[in-house]
A = this chain, B = another copy of it.
Amino acid sequence: MTRRSPEEVAKLSTEAMLAEDKTVALNGIEVVEVRPGSAVAAMIVLERMANGHGICHGGFIFLLADTAFAYACNSHGRRAVAQHASVTFLAPGRLGERLTAAAVEHHRGERSGLTDVTVRNGEGEIIAEFRGHSRTIGGTPWVTP
């Protein structure tokens, strides 16, 4: 029996997760790329995400970052969830702009992980830094390694 490569596990986990995950499709989020321990997601700031200043609500910046985070820490085949996350807002995201969130898992223990996500605006400027703590849970794995 052939053991899958980490890249293959990431690809199959992402496909299995996308099939279940309604929040991506129904909120205009695009999962751009997933590799073992990393992921990129993107989102255009729609009218319903913006407050009266034409600035993206922090909750949607978090949603985008959290999505990249989730795909990064589920890329190893086992199911993982966020336990705790923090976000620092550095600059506004504007209406109509395409935001991208790049997640990199920095540490991975037996059951827990630490993943940083950088969110950039359409000009490539950093608008938020997110740090998430994941924990693997039971249940059917996305894919058996």
Q: Residues on A close to B: CB < 8 A?
A: 17, 19-23, 26-27, 47-53, 57-60, 62-64, 66-67, 81-90, 106-107, 109, 112, 114, 126, 129, 131, 133
**A84 and B87 contact, CB distance less than 8 A:** yes
Nearest CB on B from A41, distance (A): 11
Most chain B beta-carbon neighbours within 10 Å: one of A19, A26, A88, A126: A88
Chain B residue numbers with a CB within 8 Å of A86 are 84-87, 131
A106 to B81, CA, bound (A): 21
- B67–A59 contact, CB under 8 A? yes
Q: Which residues from chain B contact A129 at a C-beta distance below 8 Å?
A: 106-107, 114, 131
